[in-house]
Amino acid sequence: MPLTDCLRERPGPPVMPHADTENLCRLLAHVPLLEGFDPGELARFARGVREQNVDKGAVLFHRGDPCHGFHLVLCGQIKLAFTSAEGQEKVIEIMRPGQSFGEAVMFMEKPYFVMAQALTDSRLLHIAKSVVFEEMDRDPTFCRRIIAGLSQRLHHLIADVETYSLLSGRERIVGYLLREEESSGEPGLCGRVSIRLPTSKGTIASRLNLTQEHFSRILHELAEAGLIVVEGRTIHIPDIERLRTTGARY
């Protein structure tokens, strides 16, 4: 029962006062990386897993911190970002429930080179390097999953680079909205859908490599063109097909 609960966005009341092995195993069974593992394997993993509850704004790690494992989001949102010498920040990714991060750094045995901060009160699991490495030696299929995961990550990142370098601000925003709509899985009758931004507009703007101001302006333009209706953090799309076809135009 906590399994589904804790993969929702909103934290809700703490289901588990403190993590015992059995509960951990139940959580682990739903981790993408460990899907289909039998109880024995999960128990081995549980030894190196620790639950983390972090408040909104808390920093999980800074650039330069040593890495002892990887993280998995159970609920809430974690932002990965780096900060320039002048203090400006660029959000690389907003991690949502079910997603994990920090694997690559862990495998390289180097310190983190980005920082992670909770955008909302969040609950996550920390999986220690040691148990991952042990399991890798033991189980080739586990290796395959890790490789698949890293490949996927790489793909996304290249897609991001493509987005940043080939698309205008407006195109990036339209693309973001369309993707967000897709992943939300809402049916939306006859092309009408509403999506709720997962976090503040400023953060999303940074994720899309835009300033908050520019983001706001483009949203306004899209609204003026009748392609969207902005209502606080909720965006209504009267005709998603039209947004897809004419949204990119300028």
3-state secondary structure of 117: strand
E strand segments, 86-133: 89-95, 100-101, 115-118, 122-128
Q: Among 73, 101, 104, which residue's Cα sits nearest to residue 11?
A: 73
213 binds DNA (CB under 7 A): yes
CA–CA distance, 228 with 207 (Å, rounded to integer)? 20
3-state secondary structure of 237: strand
Stretch that binds DNA, among 93-101, 131-139, 165-173, 237-245 (CB under 7 A): 165-173
User: Which partner, DNA, a second copy, none, binds residue 246 by CB below 5 to 8 Å per kind?
Assistant: none
153 binds a second copy (CB under 8 A): yes
Stretch that binds DNA, among 10-18, 27-35, 108-116, 195-203 (CB under 7 A): 195-203
Cβ atoms within 10 A of the Cβ of 178, count?
Answer: 16
CA–CA distance, 194 with 152 (Å, rounded to integer)? 28
Among 82, 209, 239, 248, binds DNA (CB under 7 A): 209
- By rule CB under 7 A, what string of x and - marks binding of each residue 30-69 to DNA? ----------------------------------------
Tokens 């897993």 sit at which residue? 49
DSSP codes joined into one string, 10-33: S--S-S-SS--HHHHHHHHTTSGG
Among 79, 123, 145, 170, binds DNA (CB under 7 A): 170
Pairing label, strands 115-118, 100-101: unpaired
Q: With contacts defined by CB under 8 A, how many residues of the chain interact with a second copy?
A: 38
Stretch that binds DNA, among 2-10, 122-130, 148-156, 228-236 (CB under 7 A): 228-236
Element (H, E) at 45: helix 39-46
Stretch that binds DNA, among 67-75, 142-150, 168-176, 186-194 (CB under 7 A): 168-176
Stretch that binds a second copy, among 15-23, 116-124, 135-143, 238-246 (CB under 8 A): 135-143
169 binds DNA (CB under 7 A): yes
Contacting residues for 42 by C-beta, under 8 A, at least 6 apart: 25, 28, 29, 34
194 binds DNA (CB under 7 A): no
3-state secondary structure of 2: helix
245 binds DNA (CB under 7 A): no
Interface with a second copy by CB under 8 A: which residues?
82, 84, 88, 90, 92, 103-105, 107-108, 110, 113-114, 136-137, 140, 143-144, 146-148, 150-155, 157-162, 164-167, 209
